[in-house]
Amino acid sequence: MTSLLERGRTHDCGALRSGHIGDDVLLFGWVNFRRDHGGRIFIDLRDREGLTQIVFGPDIEAKAHAAAQELRSEFCIAVRGKVISRGENVNRKMPTGESEVEVEALEIFSESPTPPFTISDDDRLETNENLRLKYRYLDLRRPSLQRNFILRSKLATLTRTHMSGLGFLELETPFMVK
């Protein structure tokens, strides 16, 4: 059986809109938030581009639904499924809130213990600096820090492109180390 990772994702988590309804998609990301509503499990899947709601149900795919029982915050996963309309339950707070993905296949890349702080709640992050530094690899996943990295990268690219257009060269002096 081919791994979902080998197939490669079709969209990022911030890309799906109402125009994608009916499409088969393959998404990679982290479990941002999990809700179990009796027969269905809803997960907000996060990558650096945004969030997409995915849904597992025994009527959709029993094997994926059973595997989804184990999913917790910050598990890294891949899902394959079909984009459907959320109908009247549109989430206006999310750009992807008009649609969701009914999951037909799930692959767990890595599990995660419960994080020491909530990664997605930038505005309400109430933790001390030492804890954030101890878990820096988790802190760097926070949306506000991700936006800073993206802005810095775009600014550096823009500067390099502009300076190169003016005839400047970017040189690095090699350094010797023992």
Q: Where are the domains of the chain?
A: 4-110, 115-168
At residue 1, the pLDDT reads 56
Which CATH number does 4-110 carry? 2.40.50.140
| Cα dihedral across residues 55, 31, 72, 142: positive or negative | negative
Instruction: Calculate the CA dihedral of residues 40, 46, 51, 53 and round it to 10 degrees.
Output: -10
Q: What is the distance of C-alpha 147 from the center of its chain?
A: 14
Q: What pLDDT is stored for residue 64 in this prediction?
A: 94
pLDDT of residue 121: 67
Identify which of 116, 156, 108, 158 has the alpha carbon closest to the alpha carbon of residue 135: 116
Q: How far, in Å, CA of 52 to CA of 115, rounded?
A: 21
pTM score = 0.81
pLDDT (tens place) for every residue of the chain, 178 residues total: 568 888 889 999 999 998 999 999 999 999 999 999 888 999 999 998 889 999 999 999 999 999 999 999 999 999 999 999 998 889 888 899 999 999 999 999 999 898 888 887 666 677 888 998 998 988 888 888 888 999 999 999 999 999 999 999 988 888 878 7
φ, ψ for residue 28, nearest 5 deg: -120, 145
Tell me the C-alpha distance between 41 and 119, whole Å.
Answer: 21
